[in-house]
Amino acid sequence: MSIEFANESGVEVPAELIIEAARFAIVAMDVNPAALLSVLCVDEDTMADMHVQWMDLPGPTDVMSFPMDELVPGGRPDAADLGPAILGDIVLCPEFAAQQAKTAKRSFDHELSMLTIHGVLHLLGFDHADPDEEREMFGLQNEILDAFYAERHRLAQQQRQSDRDARLLSNIGFTGDPGATDVPPEEK
């Protein structure tokens, strides 16, 4: 899977977190692992222009999605593998997202993760134009977001344990070198 990221917003954003959230959502939705995705962060003026041009709505918004190859989650098991496809583009507006996060009493990082997952779902054909669609899309978005955080938490715990193990082993003189005796110097 290839995810291109560009930040033209003038706002510092956690690029790796955004990419990680996008990758997690794509995998969770069983999209072809060779799919291509582009994520672009823009300023409010650029987002407002895009919002008018593509949605005929005034002012900036938090996220817009532009699907390319109209992929769907999973696909049919008997369908031929279409190979790599362009999932599409997600455009985020960090300034707008920061204001939205503050109003909702959420962190900026959380807001960007949520909006990225939201954007991926739009690329896969999900929408929230009517109450049933909204319930389905936001329910799925929250499931993926919860699983994303659970996986990040698990990996962080695993890293902390690995770091503790490495410190413990270095404190007792274990080098991991098969040719070394791994006996502490005071015992030699």
Q: Is 110 labelled as part of a ligand binding site?
A: no
On whether residue 75 sits in a domain, the answer given is no
Q: What's the confidence (pLDDT) of residue 76?
A: 46
On whether residue 49 sits in a domain, the answer given is yes
Greatest mean pLDDT among 63-77, 126-140, 167-181 lies in: 126-140
CB 67 within 8 A of CB 87: yes
Q: How far apart are CA 147 and CA 25, in angstroms?
A: 9
pTM equals: 0.82
Domain that holds residue 141: 2-69+84-167
Q: Is 51 labelled as part of a ligand binding site?
A: no
Write down the mean pLDDT value for the chain: 88
- How would you classify residue 131: left for phi > 0, otherwise alpha for psi between -120 and 50, otherwise beta? alpha
Q: What is the dihedral of CA 129, 35, 149, 97, to 10 degrees?
A: -50
Per-residue pLDDT tens for 24-56? 999 999 988 888 999 999 999 999 999 999 999
On whether residue 46 sits in a domain, the answer given is yes
Q: pLDDT-derived band of residue 86, with 50, 70 and 90 as boundaries?
A: confident
On whether residue 110 sits in a domain, the answer given is yes
Residue 114: which CATH number?
3.40.390.30
Q: Is 128 labelled as part of a ligand binding site?
A: yes
On whether residue 93 sits in a domain, the answer given is yes
On whether residue 178 sits in a domain, the answer given is no
On whether residue 174 sits in a domain, the answer given is no
On whether residue 50 sits in a domain, the answer given is yes
Number of domains into which the chain is organized = 1
Q: How far apart are CA 40 and CA 45, in angstroms?
A: 14
DSSP for residue 100: H
